[in-house]
Structure 1
Amino acid sequence: MLLAAALATGCSGGHSSEAGSGPAESSVTATPTPGSTAAENVGSSTAPSTAASSGYPTTAAAPGAAVPQVRDAFAVLQATYNDNCGAPGNCEYFLNRLLTNLDDLGNSMKASPKGTAHFRHPLAWIGQMQAALDGDFTFDNLHKHQSLLVTTRDKINTWMQSHPDDYR
């Protein structure tokens, strides 16, 4: 009963009774502040953290936890195939999720015992994407680079499909 009340309270907190005040006019922005990520600034329920080495959004891990294996990070990235910018109000969530998942996969590849040379192509594509974003995680910039984000995901998917030992 308490759980249901808590969920109802949490779900109703984002709506306003003022006319014209819908989700599109939310005061939440995707502009990162020092020490935060775009996903944190859009009210994500998962609390990503900024990657110390790259400055790009990554999923928060427990202190001392190992970086996920490549196959696990790739599985999370593959889940973005069922999501897109087509649903109203979903584009910002989708693009932030895609960026975070690509960075997580890059970190997993860098930490893999196979070494970065094995993953040189996917890491290069992720690096090109990161360079194009230039540290700007605002929704406007992510939307501007939407094609690059999706293309990077798709190229990595194709590469991984030809390397089944990396994801099985």
Structure 2
Amino acid sequence: MLVRTTARDGIRRPTAARGLRTAAVAMLAAVALASCTQDTPQDAAPAPASPSAAPADNADSADNADQAEQAASEPTEEPALPAEPAPEAVRDAFATLQATLNDTCTPGAGDCAYFLGRVTQELTELDEAMRADPKGPGHFKQPLADMKTLFTKLGIDRSTPHLEKHFSAIVGTRDGINTWMQDHPDDYR
């Protein structure tokens, strides 16, 4: 037992070297953290080449590590998020509208709420996408005019009875836009 204890004591004696290693590891972690959170990585101090660096170098590095820790704890400005998501591309919006082409309902039978709501929503999203398209709204003059006429008729009331009242206008606008887009394949392929 005496030999083991002496051997353990022999390993534990150079506490100054272990302290330097611990400090070096702590500084590396602080520098790494600071370089991840600062805009200018040149402000962070480089890590010492070895744990046996001169004590003056370690003191300077410790000061830099303290500065790096302070900078890391300061709040950073986050970029502002856009208020609304960007409108879909015309191709994507048209594809979702096309998915309604084989669907229909019978006004007054109680099966139109989902269908008419969906077609109206798809037309609204297509309108937004066409207005935001790099080709400009002038390129989509006819479909935008058709949707504007429909939206004027509908107003803000999106209740099922109101949408059923305008069933022909909603479905007719959808079908007219489909025909127009088929004549302009470069806009949706």
Please say if 1:84 is aligned against 2:104: yes
Distance, in Å, in 1 between the alignment partners of 2:121 and 2:153 is 15
Residue among 121, 132, 141 paired with 1:111: 132
Distance, in Å, in 2 between the alignment partners of 1:139 and 1:64 is 27
Q: Which residue of 1 aligns with 2:175?
A: 154
**1:91 Cα deviation after fit:** 1.0
**1:160 Cα deviation after fit:** 0.3
Distance, in Å, in 2 between the alignment partners of 1:63 and 1:72 is 21
Distance, in Å, in 2 between the alignment partners of 1:147 and 1:64 is 32
How many percent identity over aligned positions? 50
Please say if 1:135 is aligned against 2:156: yes
The root-mean-square deviation of aligned C-alpha atoms, in Å, is 1.8
Amino acid paired to 1:76:
T
Distance, in Å, in 1 between the alignment partners of 2:84 and 2:121 is 20
**1:132 Cα deviation after fit:** 0.4
Distance, in Å, in 2 between the alignment partners of 1:131 and 1:86 is 23
Distance, in Å, in 1 between the alignment partners of 2:106 and 2:158 is 20
Q: Number of residues paired by the alignment?
A: 107
Amino acid paired to 2:116:
L
**1:124 Cα deviation after fit:** 0.4
Mapping 1:22-33, distance limit 5 Å: none
Q: Which residue of 2 aligns with 1:72?
A: 92
**1:89 Cα deviation after fit:** 4.4
User: Structure 1 stretches (4+) deviating beyond 2 angstroms?
Assistant: 62-66, 86-90
**1:150 Cα deviation after fit:** 0.3
Task: Report the 3-state secondary structure (helix = DSSP H, G, I; strand = E; otherwise coil) of the residue aligned with 2:101.
Answer: helix
Q: Which residue of 2 aligns with 1:6?
A: none
**1:63 Cα deviation after fit:** 6.2
**1:64 Cα deviation after fit:** 5.3
More displaced, 63-72 or 76-85?
A: 63-72
**1:64 and 1:140, CA in 2 relative to 1: closer, same or farther beyond 3 A?**
closer
Amino acid paired to 2:136:
G
Amino acid paired to 1:95:
L
State the structure with bigger RCO (CA 8 A, min sep 6), 1 or 2: 1
User: By percentage of residues, which structure has more helix?
Assistant: 2
**1:159 and 1:138, CA in 2 relative to 1: closer, same or farther beyond 3 A?**
same
Deviations 1:91-144 (A, max 9, x none): 110000000000000000000000000001100000000000121111111000
Distance, in Å, in 2 between the alignment partners of 1:86 and 1:148 is 14
Distance, in Å, in 1 between the alignment partners of 2:111 and 2:104 is 7
Where structure 2 has 5 or more consecutive residues not aligned to the other structure, the ranges are 1-81
Task: Report the 3-state secondary structure (helix = DSSP H, G, I; strand = E; otherwise coil) of the residue aligned with 1:85.
Answer: coil
Amino acid paired to 1:111:
A
